[in-house]
Amino acid sequence: MKTETEALGCFGLPGAFTAEAMTSFFSEEDRTVLYFGTFEELVGAVRTGKVRYGILPIENSSTGGITEVYDLLRGSGCFITGEKCLSVEQYLMGVPGASIEDIRRVYSHPQGFRQSRDFFRRHPRMECIPHFSTAQSADFVGREGKKEQAAVAGQLAARIYGLRILAGPINMSTVNCTRFFVISGKKEKVEGADKITLVLSLAHEPGSLYRALGCFEKGGLNLMNLESRPRENHPFEYFFHIDVMGNLEDPAVHEVLEALQKNTVSCRILGNYRADRGGAS
């Protein structure tokens, strides 16, 4: 009999890109999957143990980091245990019988619109209305059944929710990939871990960021990503989320972390996990 902690938590609905990433990452087919309408609800379910793992998008190759997720992870107490990169194609879809000339209102997650903004510049008559997720948008349009409404989502969502592809792929980049984090409420040791995500806060003084980044250079560690986020109630001060290649059991990594402790106000490890190198092809 399954327990609650064996369940997976996924953002959106079946047919969402997050669900595709989840299916690709987890080989177990008998896990219970719970879907959540917001990032905050999903992270909360992981933190309280309602689900064992959660998966949510963190970065797109065309539009950059998803700031809400960075902010949630930083304060959640959850840990990153894996990542998955997924090639993403966005499509405009409507109810059977609708044509592209019928469409006046389009629903999607803001990322769907951002990744397809060139298409909507060419179709100014279409009003872009943010919705919870791409799959939820497809579900909504299908249930409403109105020819003047469409959704931006993936092909799988069109099949699941009975919609017709009207245009696509409409994403502006021909190589459009989204990176997802797998998170857990407990710290885990991941076999073969070679990537670290951490978050720093720095003194508000000249050279503080230079000194912190210099720790990675001196230790010979490859910095993969740096994302800055504002510190609440500290105007023009920032947290820095950093991805770097390495394993926490490596003595060289340990030396870098010791140096960071001396050159930052705070330094917290969010996770050490295996990098996904195959999703962008």
Active site (catalytic) residues:
178, 180
Q: How many Å apart are CA 223 and CA 7, to the nearest integer?
A: 33
Residue with tokens 């793992």: 53
Provide the phi-psi class of 175: left if phi over 0, else alpha when psi is between -120 and 50, else beta: beta
Q: How many Å apart are CA 123 and CA 166, to the nearest integer?
A: 13
Q: How many Å apart are CA 225 and CA 140, to the nearest integer?
A: 36
Provide the phi-psi class of 233: left if phi over 0, else alpha when psi is between -120 and 50, else beta: left
Count helices and strands (H / E) in the chain.
9, 15
Angle at 13 between CA 10 and CA 17, to 5 degrees: 70
Q: What is the DSSP string of 107-141?
A: EE-HHHHHHTHHHHHS-TTSEEEE-S-HHHHHHHH
